[in-house]
Structure 1
Amino acid sequence: MYRKWIWVLLSLTLLTGCWDSKSIEQTIYISSLGIDYKDGEFHIYSKILQFENVGKQEGGGGPPEELPIWGAQGVGKTFDSATDKLYKTTQQPISWAHIGDLIITTRALEKDGVLDEVMDVLNRYSETRSEVMLYATDDELPLLAQGTPILGKSPWYSRVNNPYPVFKQFSLITPITLRNYLIDQKEPGKVVKIPKLGINENKWTKDNEPHPIHEFGGSAFVYRGKYKGSLSTEEEQGVRWMQKEAKRIPLYLYKNEEDYASVVFADPKIDIEPEVQGEEVTVSVKVEVTGEIIENPFHKDDQKLVKEAEQQIEEQIKSTYQEALEKNIDVYQFTNHVYKKDPKAFKKLGLENKDWITSETLKDLKVKVSIASSGKLKLKE
C-alpha cells in the first residue's frame, strides 16, 4: 500500500510540469532588430517572426500564405531602456532567442560608444545567440523594413538571415556574425568589416508591381568599436581577391563589343608578408587564383585571358587600397599581419593606435592566374 501511494505522488509531480507550459502562439518572437541613434537617444526597430509561415515551408504543405510584416519600436536613453519600452505595449511575452539579424545605422556607428553598448548588452543577455548576422545601413530603418523575401517566404529563410548559400554562388562581401565581431574586435590591429544593406525597388516585381528587396551594397569598417568609414561595392572590388572565404568570384574582361570574356574564380590563396626595417614597415602581397571560363565568344586563347585577368585583378586590389587609404581604413588588415609576424616591433612602433599606412606601404603585389577549365566546351570551340 505504501509503495502504491509513492507512485501516485510521483505521477502528480511529473504532471505539474506541464501546467505552466506555453505554446508558441503565446509568445512574440523577435526575428530582426534594427538600431539607430538620433537626438541623443537609441531608436529600436524590431520585426516579428511568424511561425505560421515557417511551419508551412518546413512541412511542405503547398505555397505559403504571404503574411503581413509586424514590428515594434522603442526609444530610450540607453540601448537596454529602448528595448524595454517594447514591454509596455506587447500583448504577450517577448522572446529574444530567435533574432536572426542585427542591423545598425552608420549614424549610430558614428556616435562613439553606441556600438560598444549594444554589444555589451547582447553579449550579456542569456537569450540572445552569438550566431546573429550583423549588418550596417545608410538607410532609415523603417524604409529598410519594407524589404521582404520573394515568393512569400518567411524572413527566417531570407538572404539577410542566412547569406551563406548566395555568398558561395557570388562571393562579394563576407558575412559576419555577432560572434565574429566580438572575436575580431579584440584582435590587435584588426579592422572589422560589416556588410551594408540597402533597399532595391527596381530589380524584382510581383504581378508586374515593384517588389522592394534587400540589397548588399558595400561595407562599413569598425576598429575597436569606432567607425572608420565605408566603401561602396565598386570601391571595394579588390577585397574579393583578398578574402580566403570567397568561393566564387566572377571577373568580366570587357574592353568593347568585339573584345570581351568572363572567367569565374574560386578559393583565392593570399600571402601577406610584412617587413619591418627600423621605423619603416612595408608589405608584399601575393594572390593566386584558379578559374573557369564562362564566356569566350571571340575565342581568346588561355594565355591572353590569363594576362588580362592578372592585370585587372591587380588594378582592382590597388584601386581599393587607394580608396581605403583616403579614409584611413586598413582594408587589407596590414596592421594585424605586422602584429602576427613581429609583435615586439608592432608594440614598439605603436602601430595599433595610429594611421601609419601610406601608398608606399604596399611595396609589391603579385597576382598569378591559372585557367583550369573552359566549361563544357573546348577553349576555342
Structure 2
Amino acid sequence: METVPHARPHCASQRSHCEREGTKMRKRLFPIIASVILLSGCWDTRNIDHIVYIHAIGVDYKDGQVIAYVQLVGFTALAKVEAGGGKEKAAVSIGKAAGETFNIATDKIYPSIQQRVSWGHVKSIVFTKRALQKGIVADVIDVLNRYNEIRHTAWVYATDEPLSELFEATPLLNASSYYSLLSNPEEIFQQSSFIRPIRLSRLIVDMDEKADTARLPYLTLDRRRWIENKKPKPMLAVSGVCFVHHYSLQQCVRRSDLEGLRWLEHDIRRTPIYVKQKGKTVASLVVRDPKTKWSIKVKSGEPAFTVQVQAQGAIIELREPLSRKQLTKLAEQTVKQEIRRLYELGKKQQIDLLNLSEQLYRQRPDIWKQHQSNGLIPLGNNTLSVSVKLAIGASGKEKLNYRAGD
C-alpha cells in the first residue's frame, strides 16, 4: 500500500494549532468567570449610608425598668476627614428605650430606627450608678456575651450623669465622637496616666475573680473649662473610680482621693508629681513607667504587705533652689504619702482600693483562705509598708540647676 507522505506531521501540526486556540480561549474566559464569582459574593453588601452603626451603649435603671441608650455616630463625615476633606459638624443621634430586661429594652429600638442596625462597632458601654447598685451588670454582660456582633474590646465606664447628655458631649473642633474619651481613652492615658481605662474583657475577668475588685473609670461632664463659639462646652472627663466586687458596686471614689492608685496600676506611662514643702509647691516632676512589686509576710497569723515602687522622673519646674538629694527625698515622700492615704481610706470605708485580697490570693492562697469572706480579707488587721525609689534627672532644652550640695 502506498503511503501518504507527511500525513502524520500534518495531523500533529493541526493538533498543536487546536491546543493553542484552546489556551487562548481559556485565557479569555478566565477573567469573565473570575469576575462572575467575585461579583456573586457582593450581592449582599450594603452601602455604608444604609446601615446604622451603634457607637456606644448606655444602661440605666429606674422604676423597675432597665433603660437602654444607644449613641449613633455617622461615618460619612469621618470618612471625608480621613480623606483630607474639611471638617463637618459631627452628627450624633441618641436612642432610648425601657423594658423589663436589657434585651427587651434594646429590642424596642428597632421599630423606629428605620435602617439596618450594626452592633459590630460598639466602642464603649456606660453603666449608671443606679444600674450598678441594682446589680444588673451581670444580666447585661450575659446578653452581650451571647450576641456575636459585640466585641469584648469595648471600653466600660460608670457615671451619674444623664446618659443622653453624656452621649451628646462631642470633642472639640467638630471632631467625631469616634475620637472622644468614650472610644479612644488610651491616647489621653498615655499622655497623662492616672486612672487606667478598662475593656469589657478585662472587666469580666476582674469581676469573675474571687479576690479581685474591678475598677471602673467614673465619667462626668466638665462644664467649666471649655468654651466653643462663645458658649460653654461640656466635655467628658474621668473624675473618679467605681469599685465593683463580683458584679456588686462597693463605692465610687473621687479622683482627688485616689492619687496613690496610679503607683499601683499597670501600664502607667507618664504621670506628674507636684512636690510640696511646708504646704507650698516647690517643684513639678514627670514620672515615666513606674514599676511596682508586692511582697507578703505573715506575722502572728496576719498578712503584712510591702509594696516597692521604682521609677525615673524628670524635672519640669523647679521653683526653689533645692539640691538633687533634697528634691528626690521630697518626691519619694510624696509618693509614699499618696499610697498611705489610699490605704487608710480603704480601711476606713472597707473597700479594697489597693487590691490587697488579690495580692494575697496570688502569693499566699493558704493565708487568704483563712481570712477571706466572700473573697475579700478584712482591712483592719493587716499592715502595709511602702518603699519608694526615684531617680530624678533634668528635662527640656536646658538643664535646671540645683542648689549646691547636689
- 1:194 CA displacement: 0.6
Determine which of 262, 265, 290 is the counterpart of 1:240: 262
- 1:15 CA displacement: 3.9
| SS of 2:385 mapped into structure 1 | strand
Q: Who is 1:99 aligned against?
A: 122
CA distance in 2 between counterparts of 1:70 and 1:97 reads 17
Q: Who is 1:302 aligned against?
A: 324
- 1:87 CA displacement: 0.8
Q: Who is 1:336 aligned against?
A: 358
Q: Who is 1:322 aligned against?
A: 344
Distance 1:277 1:23, change over 3 A: same
% identical equivalent positions? 32
CA distance in 1 between counterparts of 2:134 and 2:281 reads 48
Q: Who is 1:276 aligned against?
A: 298
Task: With the length of structure 2 as denominator, give the TM-score of the two structures.
Answer: 0.87
Q: Who is 1:67 aligned against?
A: 90
CA deviations on 1:207-257 (whole Å, 9 max, x unpaired) are 221111101100001111111111100010110111131111101124479
Instruction: Look up the equivalent residue of 1:378 and give its one-letter code.
Output: K
Instruction: Look up the equivalent residue of 1:183 and give its one-letter code.
Output: V
- 2:72 maps to 1:51: no
Could you tell me which runs of 5 or more consecutive residues in structure 1 were left unpaired when the two chains were aligned.
none
Distance 1:258 1:356, change over 3 A: closer
Q: Who is 1:89 aligned against?
A: 112
The structure having more radius of gyration, on CA atoms, is 2
Distance 1:201 1:295, change over 3 A: same
- 1:303 CA displacement: 1.1
Instruction: Look up the equivalent residue of 1:263 and give its one-letter code.
Output: L
- 1:12 CA displacement: 5.7
Determine which of 131, 138, 143 is the counterpart of 1:108: 131
Q: Who is 2:221 aligned against?
A: 199
Distance 1:256 1:365, change over 3 A: closer
- 2:386 maps to 1:365: yes
| SS of 1:331 mapped into structure 2 | coil
Instruction: Look up the equivalent residue of 2:397 and give its one-letter code.
Output: K
Instruction: Decide whether the 8 Å contact of 2:328 with 2:392 is kept in 1.
Output: yes
Q: Who is 1:120 aligned against?
A: 142
Instruction: Decide whether the 8 Å contact of 1:195 with 1:216 is kept in 2.
Output: yes
CA deviations on 1:350-373 (whole Å, 9 max, x unpaired) are 355345112x52331122222133
CA distance in 2 between counterparts of 1:19 and 1:271 reads 57
CA distance in 2 between counterparts of 1:291 and 1:55 reads 40
- 1:348 CA displacement: 3.5
Instruction: Decide whether the 8 Å contact of 1:279 with 1:349 is kept in 2.
Output: no
Instruction: Look up the equivalent residue of 2:268 and give its one-letter code.
Output: A
- 1:309 CA displacement: 0.9
- 2:404 maps to 1:376: no
Determine which of 119, 137, 146 is the counterpart of 2:159: 137
Determine which of 15, 22, 32 is the counterpart of 2:46: 22
CA deviations on 1:73-127 (whole Å, 9 max, x unpaired) are 1111101111111012111111111111111011110012x01011111122100
CA distance in 2 between counterparts of 1:278 and 1:270 reads 26
Residue-pair matches, total: 376
